[in-house]
Amino acid sequence: MNERPGTRNSFSGKIGFVLAAAGSAVGLGNIWRFPYLAAKYGGGAFLLVYIILALSFGYTMIVAETAIGRMTRKSPIGAFRAHGNQKHFRAGGWLNAIVPMLIMPYYSVIGGWVCKYLFEYLRGGAAGLAADDYFGTFISNGASTEMWFLVFAALVLLIIFSGVRNGVERVSKISMPILIVLALVIAVYSMTRPGAMEGVKYLVIPNFENFSWMTVVSAMGQMFYSLSIAMGILITYGSYMKDDISIEGAAERVELFDTSIAILAGLMIIPAVFAFSGGDPNALQAGPSLMFITIPKVFANMGITTLVGILFFALVLLAALTSAVSLAESVAATFEDELGWSRKRATLCITAIMVGLGTLSSLGYGPLANITIFGMAFLDFFDFLSNSVMMPIAALASCIYIVRAVKIERIVEEVERDGAPFKRKKMFCFMIKYVCPIFVVIILISSIANVLGWITM
Ligand code: PHE
């Protein structure tokens, strides 16, 4: 058995880990991205592919990352140095550590937009939000977006500063149950609108006309993003996990949580849009603007708009907050472990990264709109770079590191440390050795080809 590194800040128990990991997983990806992709790629067919991938590929990666974290008690860089310390493996650790640094600032900018919308609903400005071009005008107003970004960032930094148990764990424990209740309330409300059942059917009944290879590729990309895989987060959270907790059990719960919220989000949004648009699925193709443009219009049409708007955006805010916190926590752990910094110092440095990169993203549609990278505004560029390029490479690095350096048997040993046998061991070994690396390369190639315009997703 490998030696167990010493004391470390830890989650108080199983539920602490599960809620924190679920808090990281459930975010803007579930509420905004999932419904829109499901609508676009064949409804029930997308759902089916997504669930199969999550149970096989997603499961494998969650187990693998959590086990590496717990085994080494380190954040990504240290974890990738623990077995072998070869240069190319170290690079994998760095990638896993840098991805969250890049995502955290722009994710917080979107978090700021959510704060703004919640604030407007709270002060009774629902009609204004539903007006044409409200969103466009808002995001091009640099002063306003920057201010709301800083509000959201301050919340995240405060939680990080409080440490693992008082910060991440406490916030997740409070907000995750509230989030489920809110999601149920809104979904029931949305499904009971006249004409909404068509939307429910659209979401759950497979439509093979819309099914294509891209359904699989986009379901794969979505699964990655949604489960917060390959960003060093699960390695970091695994390092805070106690030995007697079942990694498999935790992975199952996180998946169940994440997928249920995604489906609930689909049930909140798609039926509402159907009811609003008189059954026209084209209204769903709104893509990125679905949540900020279409939804306020849909709510405005529904009668009790202010209350629903407040509930909806409060839910999105909680989801986005726990995800942003997980990103920042992973960065903080890297600074503490690698540079020996205190929590305070790590938080200060994170503040600098957050404000620096976040400001570029927040001003990118307004004052800095003429600066683009490969034709993308800053926010879109950071999103592309982290999710489409670096994340798949980081995941590939994890697979190779596990198979070549850590060795699969060590992972199995770690998973079985709680005393129970590894139930899906065979699947795990096959997936991590063969299927995951191939899938990851496919995502990488497809998403780059998509941005370069060779294929359309
Ligand atoms: N998984 C989160 C979501 O679904 C997004 C996220 C990405 C969170 C990266 C942390 C890290 O929105």
Q: Separation of 100 CA from ligand 1 center, angstroms?
A: 10
Model confidence at 341: pLDDT above 70:
yes
* Distance between Cα 435 and ligand 1 center (Å): 23
At 56-114, the pLDDT tens digits run 999 999 999 999 999 999 888 888 888 876 777 788 888 888 999 999 999 999 999 99
Mean pLDDT, residues 275-281: 72
**Residues 349-372: tens digit of each pLDDT:** 999 999 999 999 999 888 888 888
For a ligand 1 pocket test, name from 36, 107, 234 the mutation site with the most ligand atoms within 8 angstroms of its C-beta. Answer: 107
Report the 10 Å Cβ neighbour count for 301: 14
Give the containing element (helix H, strand E) for 358: helix 343-363
Residue 155 has pLDDT above 90, yes or no: yes
The residue whose CA is least distant from atom 9 of ligand 1 is 228
Domain 16-451 has CATH 1.10.4160.10: yes
Residue pair 54/263 in contact (Cβ under 8 Å)? The answer is no
| Protein residues whose CB sits closer than 6 Å to any atom of ligand 1 | 24-25, 27-30, 103, 225-226, 228, 231, 233, 323, 326-327
Bridge partner residues of 43 (DSSP): 206
Per the CB < 8 A criterion, the answer to whether 93 and 281 are in contact is no
pLDDT tens by residue, 300-311: 877 667 888 898
Q: Could you give the 3-state DSSP secondary structure of residue 373? A: strand
What was the pLDDT predicted at 107? 92
Q: Please tell me the predicted confidence (pLDDT) of residue 4.
A: 52
CA distance 426 to 428: 5
pTM for the whole thing?
0.88
- pLDDT above 90: percentage of residues in the chain: 36
**Per residue in 130-144, pLDDT tens?**
888 899 899 899 899
Predicted local confidence at residue 1, as pLDDT: 38
* Best probe residue, ligand 1, of 102, 108, 228, 254 (max atoms within 8 Å of C-beta): 228
Q: Which of 92-101, 171-180, 232-241, 399-408 has the lowest mean pLDDT?
A: 171-180
